[in-house]
Structure 1
Amino acid sequence: MKNTNVLISGAGIGGPALALWLARHGFNVTVVEKAPSLRLGGQAVDFKGRTHRTVLTRMGLLKEIEAHQTGGVDQEIVDADGRRLTVMPGEFTGGDIEIKRGELSRLLYERTAASCEYVFGDSITSLTETSGGVHVTFERAAPRTFDLVVGADGIHSNVRRLAFGPEADHVKHLGYYYALVDVQEDFGGVSKMYNEPGRMAAVGGPKAPAFFVFASERLDYDRYDMRQQKDILTRAYAGMGWQGPALTEAVRRSGDVYLDSISQVGIDRYSQGRVVLLGDAAYGNTLGGFGSGLAVVGAYVLAGELKRAGGDHRVAFAQYEEQMRGYAKIAKNGNAGPFLAPRTKRGIRMRNWLFKYSFLLGLMMKMGDKFANDIALKEY
């Protein structure tokens, strides 16, 4: 087999999932991650349907994930006085299996640390394809040459930028931002969500101790500067009713804030020469509900096709794209922003109305299951 020396950028979910499969198939894998260590916190992620369960079973992870699952949490939608208007059921947001992102990342890392090389606190600075591989330079480490490079580094993919061009060419801002905040204050112990036109705040839910979504044009800020993110968030929620003042104070005192746009990736091809994209880097749609499932299925397919092609990346990448294009079509549609934070009072009422009628909710969940299972998995 050829092209067995593979570099993966990103140690979230897709990267380690791919590393697991490639190591099993006989490849030599290096994973580089910009963060100094595994990111063990973060929001809950979920899997749904037969296809996701099948891949997790073949990975040997399903039982462990089920043992660590958080379970869907019903969320009360309240008015400004805290009175319940309706309930968003846990099975709507939590899929069949829900687990903290950091916990899943840890499980994947533990399964791959002995068979793969992990390099934390570093990032790729250039990719130069040669006749025999890809010459890679790093911020810290010495340059190296790999047979193949995989960008599994999220919706703001560094690999995609280096190999395919500027982010603005491939990522569309959908008019909203979201924030996950690790607030320390107790807001009653019950999962609650409150809306005003164009903004939503939730506490105690599955995403994070505090979760925010608000309408906004594209913002210019440093995604690694927490102080800037706190300032943006507190300005966006100034004057909000319900527990708004207490929440904005909690944001200022918090130790961890993650603010990002709700965006959608649109790219003509998943590969460029010896470089290929996986997960959100290729088919991301923020808060779309399918990101983790697409990442683990994509990792299974990409690794399997490389094995089947004997390492011939031209054949394998074409087969990977052919299978994943159709499956990832769910990421080309939808925008979670208007659903979570409708821009009008009427929009908020209509969204709340949905949860009062189980047949409509059931129809939406069945559609989600259909998309989650819309691929014929090969045996590799």
Structure 2
Amino acid sequence: MKIAIFRTDSSSQDPASYNSQEMGLAKGLRKLGHVVDIIMASSTGHYSEKVIDDTDGAIRIIELPFRIIPLLNEPFYPKVYKILSKNKYDYVQINEEGNFASYLIARVCNKNDLKFGIYQGMYRTLSGRKWALYEAIHHRFFRPLLRTRSVGAFCKTSLAGDYLSSKGYKKTHVVPVGLDFSKFRIRENRDWRNHLNIGADAQLILYVGSLEKRRNPQFIADLACNARADQHFVLVGRGPCQSDVETAIIKNSKNNLHLVGQLSQKELPALYEQADVFVLPSDYEIYGMVVAESLAFGTPVISTRTAGPVDIIESEEQGSLISYLDVDIWLKAIDFYGISSKNKSEMGLRIRNAESRFDWVSIARKYVELVS
């Protein structure tokens, strides 16, 4: 098949340099012999094409110029009709059925008799009066086409599937997100414990991600403040809440809260491996690839009950799910895992389980069976 994976939002991303979901699926499909284009918003405002070629074959990335619809702050792609008509795809994947661009692309597919499907991660409607009004309009005028003409809705999580089922979708399938394990083969080894002055017998608790309100980095700072001095919390990332964390570090008398800033992908493997437990106290998580990444390096995860972690964490050996942010409950869970990196047997089980579950080729094979 000739497949187009259409990233319908306006965010810019280089799929070649990141553990990108679009690129991961494209590589999995390519290994199965399919031709794949990734279509996304242009980072320059101009049309461009580039081909990423490796041992698995070539994947073309098409960047389209777009305009923003002011009220919705959502993109509109003027060239989409020409691109989809010209390339004669056998199947078009449209990301997120709630995006206005998704509806417009579905209209083009329907007019050109192109088979299309939804790839869904969102599992609840955005809050606020504006989005409540948009949802009502979308459900009345736009969703019927997406729901009836698509070959199905392929959902990243069970909660995303439940959400679309509640909107009237009959053909929903959970197709999880995978990991591009090759991204971590080029790595930079570093003794992070020595670098951060964390003793070999101390517990290293890791967080990787944006320092933003929905991820609750201040809660991690509170955990550090109430933890033992030999429990060290390491935060990787930047974001609008960074100054709050920096203030917490100054006030922290135990010196067990560390902010290391943004790290490159090649720097992360050593840190994942040396961590004893990973924490993700997020209010909303469409998937949470850091959870899968942590398990792939053998590190157990403690997370709130958001969509991705609920599906990913299957046993106590892999991690714990906690419904709310309570310092005592989270510290008890952190104590439970102790210095888990010392238990090589459990690490190995987590790694093998992750390699089996998050293999993009296996996921792509299931995906093709559903869309064919």
Q: Which has the higher contact order (CA 8 A, sep 6+)?
A: 1
